[in-house]
Amino acid sequence: MSETFDDGPFSLLQMFWGNIVARPLRCSLSVIAIAIQVVLVLMIVGLTSGVISEWGKRVEGVGADILVQPPNSSIFFAFSSAVMPETLGQQMEALPGIDDVAPTVILTEPKNLVMIYGIDYKRFNALSRGFLYRTGRKFEAPDEVLADDIIAQSKHLKVGDHITLLNHIFTVSGIVAHGKGARFFIALKTAQEIAGVENRVSMFYVRSKGDTEAARAEILKLSPNNRVRSMSEYVTLMSSSNLP
C-alpha cells in the first residue's frame, strides 16, 4: 500500500509531463483556449462593472435624493416606459417634505443606445447646482437639444450643429458638463410627442427638504403602488448581478 501511495503523485506528474512532450500542439492549444476564456470573462466583468458604476454616478449627479418609478420598473432606465401621469408631480410638490420634483421622459436612441432625457428645464435644473455650460445656452425651441461634453466630443458636435435623434433633426443649442443622467436633453413636451405619451412621464426625480426617509414615506402614502427609492438605496443596487 505504501508503495502505491508513494508512486501516485510521481506517476501523475510523469503522465502530465509525458502528455505535454508527446502532444505539445494539443496541450498548447488547450492552455491558450482556457487563457482566452479567463481573459474574456475578466474583461466582460470589468467592463460591465465600469459601465454600471459610471451610470450610477450620472444618476446621482442629477441632484435628487428620491426616485419615483412605476411598479415593477427596472433600475436601468433604458427599459422604462412613460406610463406615470404627469399630474402626480404636482401632487408630490404639495407634500410638506418635498422641495423639488422633476418629471422626466426617458428615451433611447435605437442606433447607438444613447439615452435622451425629456425634461422640464427649470425643474430639472433646480435639483442641483444646475447645468454647467461648456458653451452655448439652454434649449428654447422644440427642435433644440443639449448635449453633454462626452457625447459632443465623441461625435464632434458644436453649438449650431444638426443631429438626428429618434428620427427627428435637432439643433445643438448648448454643450454641458457630463454627469446629469443622460447624454442628450430635450424639452419634456417634445419627448412626449415623440414617444406618443401625452401628459405621461417615465419617472420623477425628487429632492426632499432634508429628511429623505420622511419624504419617501409621504410619497408612498400618496402613491403606494409606485416604486419609491432613495438615491442611496438605488446606488447600492448598481451592480452587475442586477443586470436584467
- Asked if 208 contacts 68 with a C-beta cutoff of 8 angstroms, the reply is no
- Asked if 213 contacts 144 with a C-beta cutoff of 8 angstroms, the reply is no
DSSP 8-state assignment for residue 240: G
Q: Residue 5: which pLDDT band, with cuts at 50, 70 and 90?
A: very low
How do residues 154-172 score in pLDDT, each as one tens digit?
999 999 999 999 999 999 9
**What is the torsion angle, in degrees rounded to the nearest 10, for the CA atoms of residue 61, residue 66, residue 72 and residue 78?**
-20
What is the pLDDT, as a whole number, of residue 2?
A: 46
Q: Residue 9: which pLDDT band, with cuts at 50, 70 and 90?
A: low
- Asked if 106 contacts 77 with a C-beta cutoff of 8 angstroms, the reply is yes
Q: Residue 59: which pLDDT band, with cuts at 50, 70 and 90?
A: confident
Return d(Cα 154, Cα 210) in angstroms, integer.
Answer: 38
Return d(Cα 53, Cα 128) in angstroms, integer.
Answer: 20
Higher pLDDT pick, 236 / 53: 236
Concatenated DSSP letters of 26-40: HHHHHHHHHHHHHHH
Return d(Cα 106, Cα 125) in angstroms, integer.
Answer: 16
Return d(Cα 43, Cα 153) in angstroms, integer.
Answer: 25
What is the pLDDT, as a whole number, of residue 91?
A: 95
Amino acid identity for residue 134 in this structure: R
Q: What pTM was computed for the model? A: 0.77
Q: Residue 239: which pLDDT band, with cuts at 50, 70 and 90?
A: low
